[in-house]
Structure 1
């Protein structure tokens, strides 16, 4: 009779279990070291999840990660937070390099965020710091800088995801959306001299003034215009496509109204909402960083505003004058002059133009017919100006001017240059005889009429024989 084998003792079982566990851990460690897909948090490493990739989304995936392509101003919700991400840029100017994510945050929300930085085939997870801009105009949401510190092993991340720090398991990445990190190199030569940033275009139908402004900006030396567009008329879209094909205009879709109740006014008591004026401020900050290493100078203004030199004829000639007078690496502030479009140029004005009847059927304002300005205040008003600046000297901007910069801003003498804002003023206490004739714009009229006719004709808004 075969004896029944004895069961192993408890000590033997513990020893066998420990041996098996050790072999497993060593094997796992070897596999993780040799694998191309790992990410690190503190001193721990985890295998990267590799979700299956279908052909329909393969173009949006990089090594198993969902990557947002196209415009960097894509809006991304942060899981576990009310935060919206706009875009991400590598910041070279701070003492230690970092990734700056431009975001929109609910100001009363107390949330801790973390960054997942994609660097080659690794993820580096770190705690983010948050700075909400003070210029929120009293709305619940404001523009914010989310800063992601760079570890020594990841000084040039290609993508970043921002999540709530409450998500404890960093290995669970299946629903994280990644923004591409732009401004990878701090360039010293730029393809554009002047970039103008327009924000934001909503329900836009003012075709004639848009064409006139874009042609005037080219006369002044602008070779790039970035427009944050919510919606516009079919004729406006045709014009935008025309200038985009020519390489002048870059249209950034701005779909913030899908996420927040955007206000149409500057203050909550004028029009309540979640955020100031269609999210104008985060758009301007995105344009600043988008242009950081693409343009020598950046101008922040609206389509109905023109900064006109008084002593010279272009910004190319103007900026050297300003740098000699006020210093370099500054933001230059240009005093606003209201040009109420309710008052038209009529004889016996000091200078008149022939009636441009051919433009009467084109939607919008003809700026050449509106050259009566309101009297300028005795002293410049702090929020009544727009700027041209070296973008590399500025860290954050607002509607009128900058929030943080290296060299500060200087008021430009209105005898050197000033801004003209042609728009309906509605109710005003001023009488027509109190307005002041200013014919500076008419100095460009001959070239402008010819250029506008060509654009309108090419877009089917004028007969082919109209010149």
Structure 2
């Protein structure tokens, strides 16, 4: 009996111990979490946000060029209240049934006597299609006939960029969504005249509902198109920090894929509200080329769809920014008489009062030439940056001489986006007469890249130290961005010296 009593006494104790065995680890985990939250709260918030962003949408990039962890430091949020943080988004590209047409995006264009919706599209140039536009306006369906215009800059690829212009019906002055079908296709049944459900699967949202002429969210926005197989981390950081020094408020990247290190940097600038990354999925639908001519790369569409991306960026920011620059990541438009675009543009507007588009001469600084600046000038030391993949623009201060053959080629532009209809790789297609060529002594473009004149000797290159005049501010800013992106150790320093 004593033995039975002892068993009965022990049994509740065992039950309590068993409960404690499960509860103790939980208490430990909660305690550690609280400690981590207390001491590194901002870091954990950013990590969880980054994790959520990664798992909440499907990655379709090259497995070896994937997204890495997000911005990890509290200082990534500096000035966040001044800029809008836009999470990475993927464009929803829609096919036009029975055709070789793909719809990229739709924008209300207020610059015509009769309002129109402009659909940016990719089309097979050899195919002739009559389009019918279906509008959704307060859940009711309206119809008009669409007119397609293929851009002349297609570089002889089978596919090209097109604008499909859809006049807005009088009974639907503020369409929320639109889609396009071939006029040869049978109109889908809708006995009640309604748009139906699941609009996002069959229609594209119509943006730019309100036209603006002032009070823009941004003063300067830069469109950087078609990032693919990208690993040039250092030059990207330097370019973005240089743009900040020049007065840029927003940069837009159309990304196909990039290295994990690049993704960390993109996440950092996205969390700051300085960068918007748009996932560019066009290669799922069209066989895009990695070259700008058919002989430079197999495919059916020019250079990863660069031109439709530039057109989308122009219209996406038409009423968000006062000025828009269309350029590549390895290009910088530097004023020569003043320090920033904020000071440059008023000078240009005064000099060219009626002009809304400014073209800047291309100057190539070959990355194959690493020469010291002439005495007594010295470049800042770059030892720490050697641990980061990519080009150091401060190592390449000698440019190729300008030759007549290429003088007016490969330039880039800053525009009033509301004055432009069709941008292209270099300049605009419409209206052509609106652009002015800017004297190189006022401002010019610095293009740090592979040589265009590879047979030049070092003695034939021309020194230009303009970039060095920004280095005292540039170097620490780049260091901070790399450290906060976990691309440089916390204790590494990079001291600027003259």
Normalization by structure 1: what TM-score?
Answer: 0.82
CA displacement, residues 53-107 of structure 1 (integer Å, 9 cap, x when unaligned): xxxxxxxxxxxxxxxx995832111111110111000000012101000000000
Aligned match of 2:394 in 357, 368, 379?
368
What residue number does 1:187 align with? 212
Paired with 2:89 and 2:132, the residues of 1 have a C-alpha distance of 23
- 8 Å contact from structure 2 (residues 399, 464) kept in 1: yes
Q: In proportion to residue count, which structure has more strand?
A: 1
What residue number does 2:473 align with? 447
Paired with 1:248 and 1:356, the residues of 2 have a C-alpha distance of 26
User: What SS class does the counterpart of residue 225 from structure 2 fall into?
Assistant: strand
- 8 Å contact from structure 2 (residues 88, 277) kept in 1: no
Judging changes above 3 Å, is the alpha-carbon distance between structure 1 residues 292 and 134 closer, same or farther for their aligned structure 2 residues? Answer: same
Aligned match of 2:321 in 285, 288, 295?
295
What number of residue pairs does the alignment pair up?
399
Unpaired runs of 5+ residues, structure 1, are: 1-68
User: What SS class does the counterpart of residue 283 from structure 2 fall into?
Assistant: helix
**Root-mean-square deviation (Å):** 1.9
- 8 Å contact from structure 1 (residues 139, 274) kept in 2: yes
Aligned match of 1:148 in 159, 166, 182?
166
- The alpha carbon displacement at 1:382 in A equals 3.6
What residue number does 2:407 align with? 381
Of 278-287 and 350-359, deviating more is 350-359
- The alpha carbon displacement at 1:261 in A equals 1.4
Paired with 1:350 and 1:423, the residues of 2 have a C-alpha distance of 26
Unpaired runs of 5+ residues, structure 2, are: 1-86, 494-498
- 8 Å contact from structure 1 (residues 305, 422) kept in 2: yes
Q: In proportion to residue count, which structure has more helix?
A: 2
Pair 1:77-2:90 in alignment = no
- 8 Å contact from structure 1 (residues 102, 286) kept in 2: yes
- 8 Å contact from structure 1 (residues 343, 432) kept in 2: yes
Aligned match of 1:351 in 351, 355, 377?
377
Higher relative contact order (CA 8 A, sep 6+): 2
What residue number does 1:66 align with? none
What residue number does 1:11 align with? none
Paired with 2:171 and 2:210, the residues of 1 have a C-alpha distance of 17
User: What SS class does the counterpart of residue 481 from structure 2 fall into?
Assistant: helix
Give the 5 Å matches for 1:409-420.
409-420=435-446
Judging changes above 3 Å, is the alpha-carbon distance between structure 1 residues 70 and 157 closer, same or farther for their aligned structure 2 residues? Answer: farther
Pair 1:400-2:426 in alignment = yes
Pair 1:259-2:285 in alignment = yes
Judging changes above 3 Å, is the alpha-carbon distance between structure 1 residues 202 and 399 closer, same or farther for their aligned structure 2 residues? Answer: same
Aligned match of 2:352 in 291, 302, 326?
326
